[in-house]
Amino acid sequence: MKPLILISNDDGIQAQGIQELIKMLRPLGDLFVVAPDQARSGAAGSITSPLPITINTVTLENGLTVYACTGTPTDCVKLALDQLLVRRPNLVVAGINHGSNASINLHYSGTVGAAREGALHGIPSIAFSLCSEEVNEGDFIPMEEYVVHICQSILQEDIPFGTLLNVNFPPTSEYNGIRVCRMGYSAWENEFTATERPRGGRYYWLGGDHVDEEPEATDTDLNALQEGYIAVTPLKIDETDYELKQLMESWDL
């Protein structure tokens, strides 16, 4: 039986990134796409609990099913696995995100959230991102062979339970290769722009400057991207800090 690949994203079903991803992965197996019906950038692992969610059919072709969903990226993956799919997918792929999900950005990313949800269900899961806010169709062309290669590798090698892959591509047309990295530490500075409201008071726009806090480190995702490598970072769903756990056992708590 052909591999079954579940696809989602956080930029919404209309985004160039997910459309390109569908084209790239079409030869690898049967594709089942459930993606937000609008942009959900920055959705992290959020879920919709106070209201119900709905879906609309976009495509029903042989080997390609596409639904647009009113929920978050995480809702999309949950709904596909619990209600829509008739068999368990071999792979969950999220993206291709428009913009970086390297470093601490993974904590805000709906794309990583969707892939994490796959991993929480014990399915090998990958989040792909292109580290460029301004994304054009042509920008995805050099990514294709690597996206396909990584997905094929994971379909063969599998990933141990409890881990997902966070894959970020530098915004270049040629890559120096793939580098397995750790999450680098970074910070967002000057995060908001405050603007006066016409009727008084202020409103705040989120934005800011992204600063690499470890510019000397050579093993981070940010460093790999800086040097023109594709950054592959394995992420655990168990966030426990075992080192501090041990230390805290001697605290007077």
Q: Is 82 in the site for a second copy (CB under 8 A)?
A: yes
Residues 93-122 binding a second copy (CB under 8 A) are: 104, 106-108, 110, 113, 116, 120-121
The least distance separating a second copy from the CB of residue 230, rounded to whole angstroms, comes to 9
Stretch that binds a second copy, among 14-22, 88-96, 125-133, 145-153 (CB under 8 A): 145-153
| Residues 5/151, Cβ–Cβ less than 8 Å | yes
Q: Are 155 and 91 in contact (CB under 8 A)?
A: yes
- Residue 63 or residue 247: which is nearer to a second copy going by CB? 247
Among 14-22, 124-132, 134-142, 157-165, which window interacts with a second copy (CB under 8 A)?
157-165
Q: Which of residues 61-80 bind a second copy (CB under 8 A)?
A: 72, 74-75, 78-79
Angstrom distance (rounded) from CA 223 to CA 220: 5
CB of residue 16 vs a second copy: minimum separation in angstroms?
17
Distances (CA, A) of 5 to 31, 145, 199, 204: 5, 17, 51, 39
Nearer to a second copy, 1 or 156 (CB): 156
Instruction: Please report whether residue 83 would count as binding a second copy according to CB under 8 A.
Output: yes
Q: Residue 142 CA to chain centroid, in angstroms?
A: 19
Q: Which of 81, 73, 8 is nearest to 40 (CA)?
A: 73
**Alpha-carbon torsion (229, 173, 12, 193), positive or negative:** positive
Q: Please, which of residues 159-198 interact with a second copy by CB under 8 A?
A: 159-160, 162-163, 178, 180-183, 185, 187-188, 190-192, 194-195, 197
Residue 58 or 178 with smaller CB distance to a second copy: 178
Pick between residue 22 and residue 231 the one whose CB is nearest to a second copy.
231
Q: How far is the CB of 138 from a second copy (least distance, A)?
A: 25
237 binds a second copy (CB under 8 A): yes
Q: Least distance from C-beta 183 to a second copy, angstroms? A: 5
Q: What is the rounded CA–CA span in Å between residue 248 and residue 178?
A: 38
Instruction: Name the region of 58 (left: φ>0; alpha: ψ -120 to 50; beta: rest).
Output: alpha
157: contact with a second copy by CB under 8 A: yes
* Contacting a second copy within 13-52 (CB under 8 A): 39, 41-50, 52
Identify which range of 19-27, 87-95, 132-140, 152-160 contacts a second copy by CB under 8 A. Answer: 152-160
d(CA 125, CA 7): 10
Phi-psi group of 122: left, alpha or beta (phi > 0 → left; psi -120 to 50 → alpha; rest → beta): left
Q: How far is the CB of 234 from a second copy (least distance, A)?
A: 4
Nearest to 139 by CA among 151, 130, 148: 130
Q: Please give the Cα distance from 102 to 44 (Å, whole number).
A: 13
